[in-house]
């Protein structure tokens, strides 16, 4: 491994270490013990999911309590707007326009962060037994301090993510979420062995858990690496002009085009109302909240259906057959047996829809598998399917980028010294 790749890996690890240090820096003026008790009692709802994605930074109310989620939310909003408004989509494709596009995302992140930070600060007043709840200083002063602290923390995370992407290895935002989830693995392992030592579960059940985890990870890797390669032919003129260059002779279409976005969207839609409803004392509302409990049948059936819906929805945004067919026609390429232009676009749409069907079913099964295991055998599962999916996807993607860097350095060495 070359010195350049080692330096990039060390830079990535250094920024991730800084992220984990920030998770232990609390917002001034709050009683963290009260907040930790509250999150221990709400580990199975949306708050528990959000806390897990932040690497337990929320239960400590650190300056990065909001995590990188405001930036992701702003990015998703801009993606939807770019798919809806042609002018915004055109801006995204241009070099100068892309800088403006990213600047809009940053400003949107600031607005979302401030709104969420003020909402969290006001909500802390209802925790604890004192007049101001978990807040130990003047309410107005605390709102100003916490909003500023959380805004600085989120902007720091956004900067760390961009630095990792530019100077390190892999996608910075994905690695931040990855490290937040992975940071909870040691405590989960310790909790599992504690259950074995206290005879709450047997060694046979522990082996069953390990087997299920290995099989699940293997299935995720198999599907994430799976793709349909559509052969491409080029005219003789194009081949002669590029005879010294490698021409891509196929179009790769992944089985899972939408990534981990569908489970995240579905979880947010289902868990947010159930968490809000739990604060009510009305009998009917409490009954509705019970139906939407993550351990209930209705919740997981809706989760399964919503994941499928969002898989199709997001795949239609990230994969544009019309643009691919136009670029292919402009470059002098064509799919054998398929008419260029509209015929190519229709063929690619049909192939993408078939792959998305299987990809959506795969995502829905992964998202609901932990609940099925718990219901069927009472086996404890500390991480949801979405968390496992994110961890495996990011790990696979990072390894592929490291391999690409290694091969690139080999080619540079061969071109410099020759054979």
Show pLDDT as tens, one digit a residue, over the chain (419 residues).
678 888 888 898 999 999 888 888 888 888 777 777 777 666 655 566 666 666 677 777 888 888 887 887 788 788 778 877 888 878 877 777 888 888 888 899 899 888 888 887 877 777 755 555 678 788 888 888 888 998 999 899 889 988 988 888 888 888 888 888 888 777 777 777 777 788 777 778 778 778 877 888 888 888 888 888 888 887 655 555 555 555 557 888 888 888 777 887 777 677 656 555 555 556 676 666 666 666 677 878 888 898 898 888 888 878 888 888 888 888 777 888 888 888 888 998 899 899 999 989 988 888 887 777 766 665 555 556 677 777 888 888 888 888 877 777 666 554 544 44
Both structure tokens of 402: 């490291």
Q: What is the DSSP letter of 26?
A: B
* pLDDT at residue number 397: 80
The answer to whether 153 and 11 are in contact (CB under 8 A) is no
Distances (CA, A) of 341 to 231, 250, 338, 345, 363: 16, 17, 9, 6, 32
For residue 284, give Cα distances in angstroms to 14, 141, 234, 302, 386.
Answer: 51, 38, 65, 20, 30
Q: What is the pLDDT of residue 32?
A: 76
Reported pTM: 0.75
* Domains and their CATH numbers in the chain: 1-181 (1.10.3370.10), 201-418 (1.10.3370.10)
Closest C-alpha among 223, 118, 209, 164 to residue 9: 164
Q: What is the pLDDT of residue 132?
A: 58
pLDDT reported for residue 27: 85
What whole-number distance in Å separates Cα of residue 212 and Cα of residue 210? 5
CA torsion 43→44→45→47, rounded to 10°? 20
Task: Compute the distance between CA of residue 332 and CA of residue 236 in angstroms, rounded to an integer.
Answer: 9
**Sign of the alpha-carbon dihedral angle for 46, 52, 55, 60:** positive
- What whole-number distance in Å separates Cα of residue 155 and Cα of residue 159? 6
* 104 Cβ contact list (under 8 Å, min separation 6): 78
Q: Is 128 left (phi over 0), alpha (psi -120 to 50) or beta?
A: left
Three-state DSSP state, 229: strand
In this structure, what DSSP letter does residue 228 have? Answer: E
């Amino acid at each position: 491994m070359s010195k350049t790749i080692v330096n990039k890996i060390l830079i990535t690890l250094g920024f991730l270490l800084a992220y984990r240090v920030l998770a232990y820096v609390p917002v001034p003026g709050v009683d963290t013990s009260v907040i930790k008790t509250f999150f221990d009692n709400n580990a199975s709802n949306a708050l528990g999911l959000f806390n897990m994605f932040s690497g337990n930074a929320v239960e400590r109310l650190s300056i990065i309590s909001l995590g990188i989620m405001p930036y992701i939310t702003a990015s998703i909003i801009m993606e939807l707007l770019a798919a809806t408004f042609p002018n915004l989509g055109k801006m995204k494709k241009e070099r100068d326009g892309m800088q403006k596009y990213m600047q809009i995302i940053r400003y949107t992140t600031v607005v979302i962060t401030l709104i969420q930070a003020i909402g969290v600060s006001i909500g802390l007043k209802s925790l604890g037994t004192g007049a101001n709840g978990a807040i130990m200083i003047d309410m107005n002063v605390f709102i100003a301090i916490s909003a500023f602290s959380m805004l600085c923390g989120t902007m720091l995370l956004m900067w760390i993510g961009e630095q990792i992407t530019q100077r390190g290895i892999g996608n910075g935002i994905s690695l931040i979420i990855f490290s937040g989830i992975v940071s909870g693995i040691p405590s989960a392992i310790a909790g599992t062995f504690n259950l074995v030592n206290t005879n709450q579960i047997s060694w046979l059940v522990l082996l069953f858990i390990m087997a299920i985890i290995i099989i699940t990870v293997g299935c995720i890797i198999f599907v994430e690496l799976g793709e349909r390669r559509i052969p491409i032919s080029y005219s003789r003129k194009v081949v002669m002009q590029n005879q010294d260059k490698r021409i891509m002779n196929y179009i790769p279409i992944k089985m899972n085009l939408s990534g981990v976005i569908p489970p995240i969207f579905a979880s947010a839609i289902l868990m947010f109302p159930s968490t809000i409803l739990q604060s009510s004392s009305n009998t009917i509302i409490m009954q509705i909240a019970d139906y939407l409990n993550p351990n209930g049948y209705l919740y997981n059936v809706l989760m399964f259906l919503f994941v499928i819906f969002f898989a199709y929805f997001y795949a239609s945004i990230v994969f544009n057959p019309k643009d691919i067919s136009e670029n292919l026609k402009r470059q002098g390429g064509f799919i054998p047996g398929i008419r260029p232009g509209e015929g190519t676009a229709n063929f690619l749409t049909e192939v993408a829809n078939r792959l998305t069907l299987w990809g959506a079913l795969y995502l829905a099964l992964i998202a609901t598998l932990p609940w099925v295991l718990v219901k069927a055998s009472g086996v404890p599962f500390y991480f949801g399917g979405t968390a496992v999916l994110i961890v495996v996807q990011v790990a696979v993607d990072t390894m592929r980028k490291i391999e690409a860097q290694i091969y690139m350095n080999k080619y540079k060495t061969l071109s410099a010294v020759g054979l």
